[in-house]
């Protein structure tokens, strides 16, 4: 059995094959595989017995899903109101220049993906950046350089 | 595995006595905010680990308890370390401070003056949390227990009287009586709608059809608000207890918790809390031997602001796309799978155990005439003390921003406060004395919403803020109804033009026309209120719009297309710092030669402005005036040089 089929079977199984679990199943697959390929979406549709159009509708509606492979390191800049007021746009510009990536892009060597998020709920300490799941409160240029260097 | 399930009220009572008998009130407890994403961002986990090492080293193991708690409120000064039973608060603690805290405070019971709160005006030092101005004016009924609780230990919650309200509801009250109490308490929905909770419960209970469902809305999508996250991370059992009481009152046996996946720690803690509650028999079949059954499922939201809207959230729980639907009938009558369903916000549920325990009269004694109880606000933005604050309804904006928040950062001038998230508005200085509750802010064109409060100073451009919110809603709109989808798109185009210096006569009137149409014709509340940020800024800061349109000037010097960076040759000391940091090499000059910016190359990233040493302050932002020509050959003679 292929890798994709196995992963989908596991995810579908943990919600007992219930159609209500579609969003949860896709979330689990997104976090396990890093992105949702056409193959994955078709397999979910087949195993869960849900039309492929509906699986595709969900996968394109929500922000958590990516239909493209992502980089090894994911940098997420929070653009919530509190971060916005405290300089998130400048921080995003700066990271964008440093990595030579626009928000939403992945570097060609698949090393970095730059993303934005509406709010991480760390509003008291903005602007916030999450790098590979680790939260950083208002990092300076040299701190960022150090972090990017360390994950290379 | 030991069976911990409690099968009768007597067993619950015995368990509580057991837990309390093991707690020594004189034992030292070090409380650190490790169960919150922002505490972790400031390194609270490292401090926790360091305390473990140092306490072991000092031979205090077993004598001192280190507690990893959820958010304690004073986020600006994280990591905060609280020492109980004395109640000493140490702020901005680093790992290097830990050995001294252990040797001085824990061993010798001395207070470390350098780590306590210092009043910025009088210089007075305050060690006790209750006396720190940030905490002094608060009434932390819902949120205050966070500092005593390890959210992953149900015992901590029970020790503070947790689940006693559930016990009371199940064994001393009928479901009707519970609803009557909630109605009498005049509790209104904390998610922003302000709908009377008791009425919603009654409608759900009386609606024909079974099964009935209850839901927790933890899809806190409002950017700038984080009280729901902090409650779910820091005290999940208080929310669960209210939830179970509600289910009992409405006759529901299945509940759903909708929680956004952007809050991984909250998701984790709530799963642990559910598991523990089930182990102890507060959830599942025959709860505490009462014969009442209730099960809960967690549904992680996949990132869509509009999914926090009640009908959209219910669609999502069914595994469908989270789009709002027309509400010909209330969700209380036809909700999840077409069955009677009651959705309440996290904070609303967390108020229920208090009302059951202390009574409706107590709850009515707090707040204003039409808004009872307390409200948690996330006080953020350009204010000195950012954090979560819980105050009685009716507290004024000024009290919150100045008495608790300590005023504006860096001695700047207050300009506006944004409340209610993307559906709210921005209020100017003349309304600072407005009491905050469900009705007062609405009268001014804003709303209290779920409690986000973003403070803005003179460096914030109000047109840019309006554009930010419209842009946010535009991205988040589901696209189902035309007023919502196209109205927002048109507003975004006009506002972007104004910010980019392409504004023209008639733009302001066009915004007003579109906003009115959206208000009347949108499908859901998001569309109906999405224009509020644009409308309130137009109402209170119209002159800024006019400066952008007529003079092509951004008074706050924010809108990139309307500003230029310029180095004042009289102040430049030719230190080369800005030259070295400019990412595009737009700065010319050299050693001993005054620097100047090549305006053609400049991307207006602001790096030079930031790195120029404050004692020189040579880099200036200008707007609406021509950039003076560079003095290419001016030589600097350095002091002593």
pLDDT of B107 strictly over 50: yes
The CATH class of A73-150 is alpha beta
Q: Which residues on chain B are in Cβ contact (under 8 Å) with A123?
A: 223-226, 378, 380, 386, 452, 454
Distance between CA atoms of B638 and B632, rounded to whole angstroms?
Answer: 17
**Phi, psi dihedrals of residue B610, rounded to the nearest 5°:** -75, -40
**CA separation (Å) from B96 to B74, B87, B92, B319, B441?**
21, 21, 11, 49, 46
Q: Residue A121: which of B37, B320, B379 has the nearest Cβ?
A: B37
CATH topology of domain B374-457: Ubiquitin-like (UB roll) (3.10.20)
Cβ distance of B472 and A121 shorter than 8 Å:
no
In the numeric block, the tokens 């604050």 are attached to B389
Buried/exposed A87-117: b ≥16 CB within 10 Å, e otherwise: bbbbbbbbbbebbebebebbeeeeebbbbbb
Does residue B515 carry a pLDDT above 60? yes
**Nearest-Cα residue of chain B relative to residue A135:** B41
- Residue in chain A closest to B461 (alpha carbons) equals A85
CATH of domain B9-148: 3.40.30.10
Structural domain boundaries of chain A? 3-61, 73-150
pLDDT over 60 at B124, yes or no: yes
Q: How confident is the model at residue B362 (pLDDT cuts 50, 70, 90)?
A: very high
Average pLDDT over residues B188-215: 95
Query: Within a 10 A sphere around the Cβ of B86, how many other Cβ atoms?
Result: 15
Going by the DSSP 8-state scheme, the letter that residue A71 receives in this structure is -
Q: Which of A65, A70, A66, A68 is nearest to A111 (CA)?
A: A70
What pLDDT is recorded for position B639?
A: 54
Chain B contact present for A93, CB below 8 A: yes
Q: Give the up-direction half-sphere exposure of residue B404: CA atoms within 13 A in the CB hemisphere.
A: 29
Sign of CA dihedral B389, B395, B400, B404: negative
Interval B235-293: pLDDT, tens: 999 999 999 999 999 999 999 999 999 899 999 999 999 999 999 999 999 999 999 99
Q: Please check whether residue A74 touches B, CB under 8 A.
A: no
- CB neighbours (10 Å) of residue B172? 10
Q: Do A81 and B454 touch (CB under 8 A)?
A: yes
B176, B218 in Cβ contact below 8 A?
no
Residue B484 near residue B524 (C-beta atoms within 8 A): yes
Task: Show residues of chain A in contact with B229, CB under 8 Å.
Answer: 121
Task: Note whether B605 contacts A90, CB cutoff 8 Å.
Answer: yes
Lowest mean pLDDT among B454-468, B559-573, B624-638: B624-638
User: How far does A127 lie from chain B, in Å, by closest CA?
Assistant: 10
Q: What is the DSSP letter of B372?
A: B
How confident is the model at residue B641, as a pLDDT? Answer: 39
Closest CA of chain B from A1, distance in Å: 27
- pLDDT above 90: percentage of residues in chain B: 82
Nearest in space to B567 (alpha carbons), one of B641, B491, B629, B496: B629
Task: State the pLDDT at residue B638.
Answer: 58
Chain B: closest CA distance from residue A134 (Å):
7
Nearest Cβ partner of B261 from A64, A83, A94? A64
Q: How many residues does chain B have?
A: 641
CA distance B431 to B641: 54
* Chain B residues whose beta carbon lies within 8 Å of the beta carbon of residue A124: 38, 75-76, 78, 226, 378-380, 386-388
Please answer yes or no on whether B302 and A118 come within 8 Å at the CB atom.
no
Q: Decide if domain B562-623 falls under CATH 3.40.630.30.
A: no
pTM for the model stands at 0.93
* Range with the poorest average pLDDT among B178-187, B344-353, B544-553, B577-586: B577-586
- Which CATH architecture group holds B462-550? Up-down Bundle (1.20)
- What distance in Å separates the CA atoms of residue B308 and residue B470, rounded to the nearest whole number? 18
* ipTM, interface predicted TM-score of the complex: 0.91
Q: What region does B563 belong to: left with phi over 0, alpha with psi -120 to 50, or beta?
A: beta
For residue B619, list its beta bridge partners: B567
Q: Is the pLDDT of residue B197 over 80?
A: yes
The pLDDT value given to residue B637 = 64
Q: CA B635 to CA A127: how far, in whole Å? A: 39
Q: Which of B454, B556, B583 to mutate to test the interface with A (most CBs of A within 10 A)?
A: B454
Closest CB to A82 among B37, B381, B469: B381
Q: Please state, in angstroms and rounded to a whole number, the distance separating the CA atoms of residues A64 and B162.
A: 35
Residue appearing with tokens 């600072």: B432
- Secondary structure percentages of chain B, helix, strand, coil, to 5: 45, 15, 40
pLDDT band at B640 (very low <50, low <70, confident <90, very high): very low
Q: Do B262 and A125 touch (CB under 8 A)?
A: no
- Whether B169 shows a pLDDT value over 80: the answer reads yes
Give the pLDDT means over successive 10-residue stretches in chain A (152 positions).
89 90 95 94 96 95 93 93 90 91 94 92 90 89 88 74
Question: Token pair of B443, please?
Answer: 């009268």
The number of beta carbons lying within 10 Å of the beta carbon of residue A152 is 8
User: Which tokens hold the place of B341?
Assistant: 């369903």
Which residues, including other chains, have CB under 8 Å from residue B506's CB and lie 6 or more apart? none
Closest by Cβ to B40, choosing from A57, A86, A135: A135
Which residues are within 8 A (CB) of A137 and not within 5 positions of it... i.e. 6 or more apart?
A122, A125, A126, A128, B38, B41, B42
Q: Is the CB of residue B379 less than 8 Å from the CB of residue B418?
A: no
Q: Say whether pLDDT at B479 is over 90.
A: no
Segments making up each domain of chain B, as ranges: 9-148, 162-364, 374-457, 462-550, 562-623
Q: What is the mean pLDDT of residues B85-90?
A: 94
pLDDT tens digits along B311-344:
999 999 998 888 888 878 889 889 999 999 999 9
* Residue B374 phi, psi dihedral angles, 5° rounding: -105, 170
Report the SS3 class of residue B174: coil
Which has more confidence, B377 or B633?
B377
Cβ pair B458, B556 in contact under 8 A: yes
pLDDT in tens, B368-426: 999 999 999 999 999 999 999 999 999 999 999 999 999 999 889 999 999 998 889 99
Smallest CA-to-CA distance from B547 within B560, B535, B562, B565 is with B562
Tell me the CATH class for B162-364.
Answer: alpha beta
B269 interfaces chain A, CB cutoff of 8 Å:
no
């Amino acid at each position: 059995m292929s890798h994709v089929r196995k992963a989908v079977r596991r995810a579908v199984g943990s919600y007992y094959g219930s159609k209500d679990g579609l969003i949860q199943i896709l979330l689990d697959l997104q976090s396990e595989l890093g992105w949702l390929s056409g193959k994955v979406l078709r397999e979910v549709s087949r195993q869960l017995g849900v039309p492929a159009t509906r699986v595709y509708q969900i996968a394109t509606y929500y922000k958590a899903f990516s239909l493209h492979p992502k980089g090894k390191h994911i940098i997420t800049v929070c653009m919530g109101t509190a971060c916005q007021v405290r300089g998130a746009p400048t921080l995003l510009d700066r990271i964008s220049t440093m990595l030579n990536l626009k928000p939403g892009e992945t570097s060609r060597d698949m090393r970095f993906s730059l993303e934005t998020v509406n709010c991480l709920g760390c509003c008291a300490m903005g602007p916030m950046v999450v790098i590979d799941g680790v939260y950083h409160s208002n990092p300076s240029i040299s701190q960022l350089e150090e972090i990017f260097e360390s994950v290379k | 595995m030991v069976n911990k399930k409690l099968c009768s009220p007597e067993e619950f009572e015995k368990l509580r006595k057991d837990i309390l008998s093991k707690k020594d009130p004189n034992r030292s407890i070090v409380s650190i905010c490790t169960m919150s994403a922002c505490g972790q961002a400031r390194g609270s986990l490292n401090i926790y680990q360091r305390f473990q090492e140092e306490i072991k080293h000092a031979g205090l193991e077993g004598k001192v308890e280190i507690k990893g708690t959820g958010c304690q409120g004073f986020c600006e000064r994280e990591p905060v370390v609280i020492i109980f039973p004395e109640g000493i608060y140490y702020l901005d603690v680093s790992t290097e401070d830990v050995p001294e805290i252990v040797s001085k405070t824990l061993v010798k019971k001395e207070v470390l003056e350098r780590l306590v709160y210092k009043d910025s005006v009088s210089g007075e030092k305050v060690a006790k949390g209750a006396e720190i101005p940030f905490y002094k004016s608060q009434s932390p009924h819902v949120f205050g227990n966070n500092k005593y609780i390890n959210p992953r230990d149900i015992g901590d919650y029970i020790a503070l009287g947790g689940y006693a309200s559930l016990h009371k509801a199940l064994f001393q009250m009928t479901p009707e009586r519970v609803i009557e109490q909630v109605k009498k308490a005049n509790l209104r929905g904390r998610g922003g709608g302000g709908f009377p909770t008791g009425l919603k419960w009654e409608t759900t209970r009386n609606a024909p059809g079974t099964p009935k469902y209850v839901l927790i809305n933890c899809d806190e999508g409002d950017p700038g608000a984080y009280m729901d996250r902090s409650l779910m991370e820091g005290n999940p059992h208080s929310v669960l207890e209210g939830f179970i009481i509600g289910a009992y009152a409405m006759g529901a046996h299945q509940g759903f918790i909708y929680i956004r996946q952007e809050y991984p720690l909250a998701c984790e803690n709530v799963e642990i809390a559910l598991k523990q509650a089930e182990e102890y028999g507060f959830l599942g079949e025959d709860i505490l031997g009462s014969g009442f059954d209730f099960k809960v499922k967690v549904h992680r939201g996949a990132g869509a602001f509009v999914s926090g809207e009640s009908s959209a959230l219910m669609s999502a729980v069914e595994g469908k796309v989270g789009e709002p639907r027309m509400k010909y009938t209330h969700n209380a009558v036809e909700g999840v799978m077409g069955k009677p369903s009651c959705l309440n916000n996290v904070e609303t549920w967390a108020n229920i155990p208090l009302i059951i325990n202390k009574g409706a009269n107590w709850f009515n004694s707090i707040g204003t005439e039409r808004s009872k109880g307390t409200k948690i606000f996330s006080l953020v933005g350009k204010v000195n003390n950012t954090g979560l604050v819980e105050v009685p309804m009716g507290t004024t904006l000024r009290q919150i921003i100045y008495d608790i928040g300590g005023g504006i950062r860096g001695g700047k001038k207050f300009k506006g406060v944004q409340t209610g998230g993307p559906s709210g508005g921005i209020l100017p200085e003349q309304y600072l004395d407005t009491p905050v509750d469900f009705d007062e802010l609405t009268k001014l064109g804003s709303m209290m919403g779920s409690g986000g409060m973003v403070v803005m100073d003179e460096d914030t451009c109000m047109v840019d803020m309006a554009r930010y919110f419209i842009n946010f809603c535009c991205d988040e709109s589901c696209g189902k109804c035309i007023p919502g989808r196209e109205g927002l798109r048109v507003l975004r185009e006009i506002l972007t033009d104004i910010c980019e210096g392409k504004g023209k006569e008639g733009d302001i009137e066009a915004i007003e026309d579109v906003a009115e149409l959206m208000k009347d014709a949108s499908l859901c509340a998001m569309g109906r209120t999405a224009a509020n940020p644009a409308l309130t800024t137009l109402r209170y800061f119209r002159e800024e719009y006019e400066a952008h349109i007529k003079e092509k000037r951004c008074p706050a010097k924010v809108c990139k297309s309307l500003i230029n960076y310029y180095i004042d040759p009289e102040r430049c000391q030719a230190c080369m710092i800005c030259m070295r940091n400019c990412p595009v090499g737009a700065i010319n000059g050299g050693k001993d030669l005054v620097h100047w910016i090549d305006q053609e190359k400049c991307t207006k990233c602001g790096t030079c402005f930031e790195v120029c040493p404050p004692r020189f302050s040579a880099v200036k932002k200008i707007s609406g005036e021509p950039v003076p020509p560079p003095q290419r050959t001016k030589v600097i003679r350095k002091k002593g040089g």
